[in-house]
A and B are shown apart, each in its own frame.
Chain A
Amino acid sequence: MKRGKRKWLFFLLFLFLSFALVACSGNNEKAGGNSDDGKDEVKDTPKELVFGRGGDSTSLDPGATTEGEAFKVTVNIFENLINFGEQNTELEPGLAVDWNVSDDGLVYTFQLREGVKFHDGTDFNAEAVVVNFERWKNGNAGTSGDQTPFPYYQSMFGDNIEKVEATGEYEVQFTLKHPQAVFLKNIAMSPFAITSPAALEKYGDKINENPVGTGPYKFVEWQRNDRIVIEKFDDYWDSEYPKIDKIIFRSIPDNSARLNALKTGDVDLIDGINYSDVAAIEADSNLQIFTRPSMNVGYLGLTTTRGPLQNKLVRQALNHAVDKEAIIAAFYEGYAEPAKNPMPPVISGYNDDIEDYPYDLERAKELLAEAGYPDGFEMELWAMPVPRPYMPDGQKVAQAIANTFEQIGVKVEIVSYEWGTYLEKTAAGEADAFMLGWTGDNGDADNFLYTLLDKDNIGTNNYTYYSNDELHEILVQAQRVSDEEQRVELYKKAQEIIKEDAPWIPLVHSQPLLAGRADIKNFLPHPTGSDRLHKVEFGN
Chain B
Amino acid sequence: MYAYIIRRLLTLIPVLLGLTLIVFLMIRAIPGNPAHIILGQAATEESIEALNKKLGLDQPWYVQYFKYLGGLLTGDLGDSIRTDSPISEQIWPYLAGTIELALVAMLIAVFIGVNAGIISAWFQNSWFDYALMLLALIGVSMPIFWLGLLEQWIFAVNLDWFPTGGRDNVRNPVEPITHLYIIDTIIQGDTEKLVEVIRHLVLPAVALATIPMAIIARITRSSMLEVMRTDYIRTAKAKGMKMFWVVYKHSLKNASIPILTVIGLQLGLLLGGAILTETIFSWPGIGRYIYDAINYRDYPVVQSSILIIALFFVLINLIVDILYAIIDPRIKYR
Q: Inside 8 A of A254's CB, which chain B residues have their CB? A: 149, 279-280, 282
Instruction: Write out, one digit per residue, whether chain B residues 162-184 have a CB within 8 A of any chain A CB (1) or not (0).
Output: 11111101111100100000000
Instruction: Say whether A225 contacts B288, CB under 8 Å.
Output: yes
Instruction: Say whether B166 contacts A263, CB under 8 Å.
Output: no
Instruction: Say whether A58 contacts B83, CB under 8 Å.
Output: yes
Nearest-CB distance from A495 to chain B (Å)?
21
How long is the Cα–Cα vector from A146 to B38 in the complex, in angstroms?
17
Instruction: Say whether B282 contacts A155, CB under 8 Å.
Output: no
Q: In chain A, what residue has the closest Cβ to B281?
A: A257
How long is the Cα–Cα vector from A48 to B172 in the complex, in angstroms?
11
Instruction: Say whether A424 contacts B83, CB under 8 Å.
Output: no
How long is the Cα–Cα vector from A2 to B241 in the complex, in angstroms?
14
Q: Inside 8 A of B169's CB, which chain A residues have their CB? A: 35
Instruction: Say whether B83 contacts A261, CB under 8 Å.
Output: no
Residue B36 lies at the interface, judged by CB distance under 8 Å to chain A: yes
- Within the complex, which residue of B30, B40, B84, B248 is in contact with A208, where a contact is CB–CB below 8 Å? B84
- Within the complex, which residue of B44, B198, B279 is in contact with A19, where a contact is CB–CB below 8 Å? B198
Residue B292 lies at the interface, judged by CB distance under 8 Å to chain A: yes
Instruction: Write out, one digit per residue, whether chain A residues 241-265 have a CB within 8 A of any chain B CB (1) or not (0).
Output: 0000000101111101110110110
Residue A154 lies at the interface, judged by CB distance under 8 Å to chain B: yes
Q: Inside 8 A of A425's CB, which chain B residues have their CB? A: 31
Instruction: Say whether B83 contacts A59, CB under 8 Å.
Output: yes
* CB-CB contacts below 8 Å: B158-215 with A: 160-167, 169-173, 176, 192, 195-196, 198-199, 202
Instruction: Say whether B39 contacts A266, CB under 8 Å.
Output: no
* CB-CB contacts below 8 Å: B1-57 with A: 30-33, 36-48, 50-51, 53-54
How long is the Cα–Cα vector from A250 to B199 in the complex, in angstroms?
18
Identify the stretch in A21-29, A305-313, A369-377, A473-481 within 8 Å (CB) of chain B at 4 or more residues: A21-29
Please classify how large the interface on chain B is, using the bins under 10, 10 to 19, 20 to 34, 35 or more. 35 or more
How long is the Cα–Cα vector from A59 to B81 in the complex, in angstroms?
11
How long is the Cα–Cα vector from A260 to B160 in the complex, in angstroms?
11
Instruction: Write out, one digit per residue, whether chain A residues 1-15 have a CB within 8 A of any chain B CB (1) or not (0).
Output: 010010001001001
- Within the complex, which residue of A26, A154, A226 is in contact with B284, where a contact is CB–CB below 8 Å? A226
Identify the stretch in A101-109, A326-334, A415-423 within 8 Å (CB) of chain B at 4 or more residues: A415-423
Nearest-CB distance from B204 to chain A (Å)?
11
- Within the complex, which residue of B43, B148, B160, B281 is in contact with A264, where a contact is CB–CB below 8 Å? B160
Instruction: Say whether B164 contacts A460, CB under 8 Å.
Output: no
Residue A224 lies at the interface, judged by CB distance under 8 Å to chain B: yes
Q: In chain B, what residue has the closest Cβ to A16?
A: B111
Q: Inside 8 A of B163's CB, which chain A residues have their CB? A: 264, 266
Residue B312 lies at the interface, judged by CB distance under 8 Å to chain A: no
Residue A115 lies at the interface, judged by CB distance under 8 Å to chain B: no
Instruction: Say whether B156 contacts A58, CB under 8 Å.
Output: no
**Mostly helix, strand, loop or mixed at chain A's interface?**
helix
How long is the Cα–Cα vector from A425 to B32 in the complex, in angstroms?
8
Residue B295 lies at the interface, judged by CB distance under 8 Å to chain A: yes
Q: Inside 8 A of A248's CB, which chain B residues have their CB? A: 170-171
Residue A227 lies at the interface, judged by CB distance under 8 Å to chain B: yes
Instruction: Write out, one digit per residue, whether chain B residues 74-101 have a CB within 8 A of any chain A CB (1) or not (0).
Output: 0000000011110000100110000000
Instruction: Say whether B44 contacts A155, CB under 8 Å.
Output: yes
How long is the Cα–Cα vector from A311 to B46 in the complex, in angstroms?
31
Residue A407 lies at the interface, judged by CB distance under 8 Å to chain B: no
Nearest-CB distance from B59 to chain A (Å)?
16
How long is the Cα–Cα vector from A451 to B45 in the complex, in angstroms?
12
Nearest-CB distance from B289 to chain A (Å)?
6
How long is the Cα–Cα vector from A367 to B227 in the complex, in angstroms?
78
Instruction: Say whether A23 contacts B85, CB under 8 Å.
Output: no
Residue B232 lies at the interface, judged by CB distance under 8 Å to chain A: no
**Mostly helix, strand, loop or mixed at chain B's interface?**
helix
Task: Say yes or no: A421-B90 contact (C-beta < 8 A), given A67-B40, A151-B42.
Answer: no
Q: Inside 8 A of A214's CB, which chain B residues have their CB? A: none
Q: Inside 8 A of B248's CB, which chain A residues have their CB? A: 5, 9
How long is the Cα–Cα vector from A151 to B36 in the complex, in angstroms?
11
How long is the Cα–Cα vector from A55 to B276 in the complex, in angstroms?
15
Residue B297 lies at the interface, judged by CB distance under 8 Å to chain A: yes
Residue A100 lies at the interface, judged by CB distance under 8 Å to chain B: no
Nearest-CB distance from B309 to chain A (Å)?
16
Instruction: Say whether B165 contacts A266, CB under 8 Å.
Output: yes
Instruction: Say whether B41 contacts A224, CB under 8 Å.
Output: no
Residue B229 lies at the interface, judged by CB distance under 8 Å to chain A: no
How long is the Cα–Cα vector from A55 to B295 in the complex, in angstroms?
12
How long is the Cα–Cα vector from A42 to B288 in the complex, in angstroms?
33
Q: Inside 8 A of A240's CB, which chain B residues have their CB? A: none
* CB-CB contacts below 8 Å: B267-304 with A: 279-282, 284, 288-289, 292, 295-297
Task: Say yes or no: A460-B196 contact (C-beta < 8 A), given A225-B292, A253-B279.
Answer: no
Nearest-CB distance from A264 to chain B (Å)?
5
How long is the Cα–Cα vector from A118 to B192 in the complex, in angstroms?
37
Instruction: Say whether B31 contacts A424, CB under 8 Å.
Output: yes
* CB-CB contacts below 8 Å: A407-442 with B: 417-421, 423-425, 427, 438-439, 441
Instruction: Say whether A264 contacts B284, CB under 8 Å.
Output: no
- Within the complex, which residue of B40, B149, B165, B172 is in contact with A36, where a contact is CB–CB below 8 Å? B172
- Within the complex, which residue of B37, B45, B50 is in contact with A423, where a contact is CB–CB below 8 Å? B37
Q: Inside 8 A of B176's CB, which chain A residues have their CB? A: 223
Instruction: Say whether A420 contacts B296, CB under 8 Å.
Output: yes
Instruction: Say whether A2 contacts B249, CB under 8 Å.
Output: yes
Q: B: which residues have CB within 8 A of A? A: 30-33, 36-48, 50-51, 53-54, 82-85, 90, 93-94, 107, 110-111, 148-149, 152-153, 156-157, 160-167, 169-173, 176, 192, 195-196, 198-199, 202, 248-249, 253, 279-282, 284, 288-289, 292, 295-297
Q: What are 20 contact pairs spanning A and B, CB under 8 A? A: A5-B248, A22-B198, A26-B162, A30-B160, A35-B196, A58-B83, A146-B54, A152-B42, A155-B42, A208-B83, A223-B176, A224-B93, A224-B94, A250-B282, A261-B165, A263-B157, A421-B31, A425-B31, A460-B44, A461-B41
Closest 8 CB pairs of A and B: A420-B32, A226-B284, A225-B284, A148-B50, A252-B282, A155-B42, A26-B199, A66-B42
20 more contacts with CB within 8 A, not counting A12-B107, A224-B284, are A5-B248, A15-B111, A23-B198, A26-B162, A26-B199, A31-B160, A35-B172, A35-B192, A66-B42, A154-B42, A155-B47, A226-B167, A251-B284, A252-B166, A257-B281, A260-B156, A264-B163, A421-B30, A460-B43, A460-B44
